[in-house]
Structure 1
């Protein structure tokens, strides 16, 4: 399991853009997001008044795809099932603040800037030969 966790963390380190799927009216709704991580917990900045925030308020179950670079068949990637929560704490907003986020928000004190925190339940490590998927249950 430690080897699997290491390989998962490597994908998260090397890939910051993935898809985030939420549920709206019992149907999936997917969009690209930028993800940051601390160990296996994922964070993604967003605006307070977005559909995804409303959808997570109604159903916190999310699905993330991250890691596939389009280089060809066999690229490793992750399928992550998790639970999202809305975090507007100043501490989290300041910790994640960077110049990339500045394109959309005025600063870490911008009242529209919040963070989605995703706690994984299951991570599937995909496309690493015959040994995949490998599943990490949390």
Structure 2
């Protein structure tokens, strides 16, 4: 598969799947939780609250792992394994990228100090599709 085709397939999985699993590390133990992701290119944005363990975990260790996809679609059960470095968004424009109606139920607006957006910048994306590929295809960024 060409790099261009792989990037297109990765973009399709990102487009079709907004809910995924974000894993962090604390005290050498993994912690996973479901999150809602928005994306711009391959960069992922996910909203959370200021007083969550994941924010503390990321402040201590910014390396995260994300799983997105694995739903039956016309291409099979494609999913992504993403290794990324996460940071807390400080730019108001980045905070707006993860704003949604659901988030609006809890916060007064993207400027609300309790509203935190995590930016996850991938270093490696593995595209997996059990129907077509024997081994995962990988993009290193």
Q: Structure 1 length as normaliser, TM-score? A: 0.91
Alignment partner for residue 44 of structure 2, among 38, 42, 45? 42
Alpha-carbon separation, structure 2, partners of 1:85 and 1:64: 14
2:102 is aligned with 1:96: no
Q: Any gaps of 5 or more consecutive residues in structure 2?
A: none
Alignment partner for residue 79 of structure 1, among 66, 78, 81? 81
Show CA shifts across 1:97-132 (max 9, x none).
221211332211211001100010110001252353
CA root-mean-square deviation: 1.5
How is 1:1-138 mapped onto 2 (pairs within 5 angstroms)?
A: 1-69=3-71, 74-127=76-129, 128-138=131-141
SS in 1 for 2:12: helix
Give the 4+ runs in structure 1 shifted more than 3 A. none
Q: Structure 2 length as normaliser, TM-score? A: 0.90
Residue 70 (structure 1) shift: 6.3
CA contact (8 A) 1:76 1:126 kept: yes
CA contact (8 A) 2:37 2:98 kept: no
